[in-house]
């Protein structure tokens, strides 16, 4: 069941305090039968109502280990809900409050385009190992699992490169070009040994794929693509004593100029190590920045540049309430058995890399 537009509009018109009160009452009534997950990019009003707040993979594991939790309500984008459905127990059902909330970056790599690229690239010689970022569809995770590859997070991407190069001569990394390029540089791959496959161009763009050690998919996160080296230079000029921390999905020129680089979880831990009065500028989604501002009011925490994840923002209090009021009727997130099997194979390989 997808709620009718007029019903959504009716709920969206309710005052925030009413929505929060009704959601909290339902959570109290359901007790451990419902597990609400909120990604770190969710607005604070939603994350405060969740059982767990974190990154996509950590949330999926938390739900699978949650005692009870017949219903998992994932306040995030589509690939996150899919991952939860792959990792959850057989007695659990995953619900996504807004089925239309996809991840633009994940959707940049379709299974059809990826399969065509793979066929072309494997003809250029040398053992090719597919690696996909966690921010990808279940189809792409399964593709990597079936072909001997794995999945990585922004936290373990470097270790994943080490793993992949022990098993092959080249790495095919998708769907985030920036995370792939930043990790390749950290691993010691020189620019001449990196090529990019653009699915919108004939033959991927015609670069020298045969000699490339790392082939990157032409994809990006719209949130992190917005940050520029000029943003960092502006902070250096006007706040010379400030620290700049950014996500590795940012372009390389931004990452190279930052004081620290890491996942959403890393950014939170980095801020926790600072002292009252410190100045920290953060290059990631604005809701995480605002949540950290609330958590640490005794220091200056500011955005490097305002960047909002519009699809994450589609998850609202109204849609969360509608989901909780219609648990049995709401559409389940279902991943086909074969896709789920090989995606789980890739996820298990990822776990073995830690």
Question: What does the pLDDT read at residue 63?
Answer: 79
pLDDT at position 3: 63
Residues 279 and 194 in one domain: no
* 258 and 281 fall within a common domain: yes
Q: What percent of the chain has pLDDT over 90?
A: 86
Rg (CA), the chain: 21
Decide if 27 contacts 34 (C-beta within 8 A). yes
60 and 78: one domain? yes
Give the CA dihedral 135, 141, 147, 151, nearest 10 degrees: 50
- pLDDT tens-digit profile of 237-275? 999 999 999 999 999 999 999 999 999 999 999 999 999
pTM metric for this prediction? 0.93
**Is the backbone peptide bond immediately before 175 cis, with ω within 30 degrees of 0?**
yes
| Assigned domain for 258 exists | yes
Residues 6+ apart with CB under 8 A from 58: 52, 265
Q: Are residues 85 and 33 in the same domain?
A: yes
| Four-point Cα dihedral 295, 301, 303, 308, nearest 10 | 0
Segment 196-251, tens digit of pLDDT: 999 999 999 999 999 999 999 999 999 999 999 999 999 999 999 999 999 999 99
Residues 120 and 155 in one domain: yes
Beta-carbon contacts of residue 149 (< 8 Å; ≥ 6 apart): 129, 130, 131, 132, 143, 164, 172, 346, 349
Domain boundary among 222, 247, 270: 222
186 and 137: one domain?
Answer: yes
Looking at the fold, whether 133 and 211 belong to one and the same domain comes out as yes
CB 54 within 8 A of CB 265: yes
The tokens for 251 are 């372009």
What pLDDT is stored for residue 5 in this prediction?
Answer: 66
Predicted local confidence at residue 17, as pLDDT: 96
- CATH number, domain containing residue 233: 3.40.50.10800
In this predicted structure, what is the pLDDT of residue 255?
98
How far apart CA 9 and CA 295 sit, in angstroms, is 32
Domain range holding 110? 106-222
Burial class (CB in 10 A: 0-12, 13-18, 19+), 37: buried
201 shares its domain with 132: yes
Indicate whether 339 pLDDT > 80: yes
The mean per-residue pLDDT over the stretch 11-35 comes to 93
């Amino acid at each position: 069941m997808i709620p009718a537009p007029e019903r959504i509009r009716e709920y969206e018109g309710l005052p925030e305090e009413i929505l929060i009160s009704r959601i909290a009452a339902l959570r109290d009534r359901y007790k451990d039968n419902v597990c609400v997950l909120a990604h770190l990019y969710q607005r604070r009003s939603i994350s405060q109502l969740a059982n767990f707040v974190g990154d996509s993979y950590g949330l999926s594991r938390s739900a699978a280990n949650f005692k009870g939790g017949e219903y998992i309500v994932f306040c995030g984008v589509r690939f996150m809900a899919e991952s939860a459905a792959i990792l959850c127990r057989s007695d659990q059902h995953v619900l996504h409050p807004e089925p239309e909330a996809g991840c633009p970056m994940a959707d940049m790599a379709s299974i059809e385009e990826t399969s065509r690229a793979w066929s072309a690239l494997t003809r250029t010689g040398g053992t090719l190992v597919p690696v996909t970022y966690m921010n990808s569809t279940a189809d792409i995770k399964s593709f990597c699992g079936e072909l001997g590859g794995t999945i990585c997070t922004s936290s373990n991407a470097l270790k994943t490169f080490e793993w992949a190069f022990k098993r092959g001569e080249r790495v095919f990394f998708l769907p985030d070009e920036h995370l792939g390029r930043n990790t390749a540089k950290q691993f010691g791959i020189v620019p001449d040994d990196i090529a990019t496959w653009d699915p919108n161009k004939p033959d991927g763009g015609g670069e020298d794929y045969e000699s490339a050690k790392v082939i990157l998919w032409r994809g990006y996160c719209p949130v992190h693509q917005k940050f520029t080296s000029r943003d960092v230079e502006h902070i250096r000029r006007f706040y010379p004593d400030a620290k700049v921390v950014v996500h590795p999905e940012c372009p390389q020129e931004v990452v190279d100029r930052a004081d620290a680089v890491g996942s959403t979880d890393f950014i939170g831990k980095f801020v926790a190590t600072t002292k009252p009065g410190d100045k920290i500028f953060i290059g990631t989604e604005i809701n995480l920045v605002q949540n950290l501002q609330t958590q640490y009011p005794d220091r200056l925490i500011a955005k490097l540049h305002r960047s909002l994840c519009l699809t994450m923002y589609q998850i609202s209090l109204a849609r969360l309430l509608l989901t909780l009021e219609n648990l049995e009727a709401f559409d389940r997130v279902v991943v086909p058995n074969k896709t789920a099997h090989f995606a789980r194979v890739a996820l298990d390989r990822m776990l073995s890399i830690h």
